[in-house]
Structure 1
């Protein structure tokens, strides 16, 4: 595991294997960012000129290496691009640059980051980006072989405000480690991560961090009437689970319920996905991974808010016992649903969990799910959609995501799209409605299961949850831990009494 720390040492005097500085695009060429003054001095004021000769432009995602001159303890300097200097250095730009540095220097024992940490928030952004960029997953490589991550990351800051910077880096450590825990779960092979295995992992984390964990197995689910979760999981030899992970704080004045879709593998069931659409469906539990990681991170940070995470876990498989199109499920709470497409299974497990969460009267329910391909078509692969029964909550979560460095977009819940789901001739609802606006239809379906008087929001993370392209910034190939930062920042704001 990569170690993370903060230091007020000079960039010139700190012993490290590599030293990272930031460069940006200026009006007359590249500009070396603040934090690298000692490095500029060691290069006799010619660092920008040297880097330009080597092809540096300061563009985002760029990384240029140069050997260190006398006067620096680190033998290598890595310049990472921050973008346009005139736009300033946002926290997200710092996160991404630090992530590029950590990826570029994979296998290096000790890396010092002399990026522009002009505030505690900057230091925290650099630390988080570096820790996320250092992530690697080599569990299934022969003898554990793979590209080793950076061994130690040191964020350099000034002495002024160093106490606040240290606290920010400590927060980044907790957030980054839990996001990487979520990434591990998403990347794990589905033959190893089934519902029971996920529940066992949650129980172990609960014991480690002092969280209350309750697991409902298939017998308890049947006794309780959880027809949605059972209906999705009945076709698999790996039975479903509903896991409750609860964190409470003695000074909490609000309670949040986070509900995560946890389909550990989604074949589509009897409505089988075609070839080319199921190879990455181990990631269909990314919502549950995000919720799990958020609750653990909240406990590690000691947030003054109560949070209950609900992990709705099932494996959606075709078999002689699987739910068929045309079957009717009696959901938890009594509503009936005609299943028209078994590949619209996420909304079924979430509906049961949302009803159960609502029984505890939380102030807010937020569900997180890789729910619809329609949302990917609407927003692409880097933005998640936000829907809610409260415009205020929807807008708050959108603003919170932006603040946390995640891309989201507020989406409507048009009442006219509800009609298609309510036209079942034999059940209260159908699990499918109009084809156009499918992501919104799914949100409307979930809304049907929210208890009256409870503010609820739905985050459809189908696009950004699993990255299939080349790594960029601090985002690796594979699981990303999308929505963790948004949920956690929302919890922090709630703890502070600031939800607006």
Structure 2
């Protein structure tokens, strides 16, 4: 529960107290009226548990003139009937029912959405035997909302059916509380605050209905104001760059509709507020609409730009991602808890931009950026929006794993996180967390030679997702480098920037996150993920330059540089991957600094022996904007790693140049599959400011490209 919601409750709870002025009036006989009363569930320890019923008084103050919003003062409590037994402590949860007096309002016609008045469909209820008694049903799953669902929820009052049990002929009525989708109740204290929180949230209506004719409508109006306190909300709308021969502003479909709602004010303000908006730039306006405290307009560039063959990406999609990210961040800076986002003609790209752009790793910071809930503006493209959300969540999972400090994200912890995530999204999964004894049984000596330098035990993570209807269909196998911290070993790295080596398991993070995402999307394909996980540290047991080890395939390796450890652990994992009769093998690794030098952060370098595999990867990257670039896998580089003095292979090339290519040539010695691709992601491991919709930090790239690649491969059973 947010602090803002709690304060809204504190301000509005006075109207929930038992303050009925009628209880102080005298009856026609001249004696004060005395009524049995029970403790107020909102203010005392009495709660309602699911499935239980209890009588709860909720009379309304008869006088509220001159009171300010949120400041209604309770009247003195009326005398209590001491013979009345107190209600037992009970918890109010969604799905429970309780009898309570609910004042009924008889007028609700002509109200607009969000106007703090009941829907015209709500009827006034009367009961001569029990004034204002009603049934309150807390159930978010009801499908009969009395208010536009876009408002988030409402109270619905309706007549109750006759009692067939021979009791009273008719109950007073039923009030159904439809919970807003963003409200979660997890503790008794939060449950007790549910009704006032709903009343105080985004135009949610407290259904104030008059109990009798002599309750002034002023009281209801004042209570409406006290309960209103709507949370501030932002709106992000897109605008295209004007054509050369057109001076008129070009809104998106949603932007144009909103401008009509505000009678053209948005277009007018844009025209006088400065020059036309450039691509990725924002402009903010306040007070245009009662539902949105602020509206951020973002520049989308040229409309219909399509695929830019020079840049190798879809320019429309990239412009939307960057613009929406900028707009959402501006709303977040205003500390608004909610923002609605214009789909901009591509809801998936808009969702990716919003959720990738707002992500920031702040788990260990006391001062965090304000939480903000993002929703689609309108109802067009809900499925595509949800798909974009899942894509972004997949990349953000990889970012979280890569950012996590190495003393916490150990091989064991990494495997546990992936197991938990995978099993939470699909039942068609299998997770094997292999220990050191298993690794030794598999004779993965190359992998073990790296792991032995650390006290942290190694883990070989093996995950299976069976999404295809044909269980015998050959799987696509992903392999990811999982060095959870890389000091370089005996060939130790410079201390400057070594902290970033907590992300040297980026290959494992991206391939595992891609499989989690594919499972969540229910992609019809069989996938296997393999991640050798360990640390590379110097110690008395660590590899030394000049050591020789024998890999799982029998080839011997001369280790001349202990900082070239990634290829040593991948060698055994790649050979093991062939045991699954794979359709194709794709490995990802933050393998070489040489790749960062060659391509920087513009693209992932791809080395492959398959033209079909390259085509699928390239086409996927054009859609996601997380690009790939093909690198050479010549025999020229193979000769540099096979010319070793002591063994079959050397773990570094003969010459300093072409380091990324010689590393790929080394891995090729452990592959026999005709469809194999090696992705060197060292250059895209981290983002400074190159990708506008990613904040500074670990990038989690190319997770979305891998997911898109898997999706395309599931639809193409012939090429590979």
TM-score (norm 2): 0.63
1:270 Cα offset (Å): 0.8
Instruction: Identify the match of residue 168 of structure 1 among 377, 384, 388.
Output: 384
Structure 2 counterpart of 1:37: 256
1:239 Cα offset (Å): 2.2
Give matches, 1:22-421, under 5 Å.
Answer: 22-26=238-242, 27=244, 31-42=250-261, 44-45=263-264, 47-48=266-267, 50-51=269-270, 53-55=272-274, 57-69=276-288, 71=289, 73-85=291-303, 87=305, 90-106=316-332, 107-117=335-345, 122-142=346-366, 145-158=367-380, 165-208=381-424, 209-210=426-427, 211-252=429-470, 253-421=473-641
- How far apart, CA to CA, are the structure 1 residues paired with 2:507 and 2:317? 25
**Which consecutive unaligned segments of at least 5 residues does structure 1 have?**
2-6, 159-164
Cα deviations by residue, 1:207-235 (Å, 9 ceiling, x for unpaired): 43332111222222122211222111111
**Secondary structure at 2:414's aligned position in 1?**
helix
Kept in 1, the 8 Å contact 2:610–2:674? The answer is: no
Instruction: Identify the match of residue 486 of structure 1 among 682, 701, 705.
Output: 705
- How far apart, CA to CA, are the structure 1 residues paired with 2:297 and 2:666? 49
1:477 Cα offset (Å): 1.5
Kept in 1, the 8 Å contact 2:241–2:279? The answer is: no
Residue correspondences, number: 477
- How far apart, CA to CA, are the structure 2 residues paired with 1:45 and 1:383? 43
1:48 Cα offset (Å): 4.4
Kept in 2, the 8 Å contact 1:98–1:473? The answer is: no
Q: Which has the higher contact order (CA 8 A, sep 6+)?
A: 1
- How far apart, CA to CA, are the structure 2 residues paired with 1:247 and 1:400? 21
**Secondary structure at 2:700's aligned position in 1?**
coil
- How far apart, CA to CA, are the structure 1 residues paired with 2:336 and 2:398? 24
- How far apart, CA to CA, are the structure 1 residues paired with 2:650 and 2:416? 33
Q: Which has the larger radius of gyration?
A: 2
- How far apart, CA to CA, are the structure 1 residues paired with 2:259 and 2:622? 34
RMSD over aligned CA atoms reads: 2.4
- How far apart, CA to CA, are the structure 2 residues paired with 1:343 and 1:169? 43
**Secondary structure at 2:498's aligned position in 1?**
coil
1:494 Cα offset (Å): 1.6
**Secondary structure at 1:191's aligned position in 2?**
coil
**Which consecutive unaligned segments of at least 5 residues does structure 2 have?**
2-147, 152-201, 204-231, 307-314
1:86 Cα offset (Å): 6.6
Cα deviations by residue, 1:438-492 (Å, 9 ceiling, x for unpaired): 11111111111112x441001111111221x248532122122212112111211
Change (3 A) 1:8 1:364: farther
Judging by fraction of residues, say which structure has more strand.
1
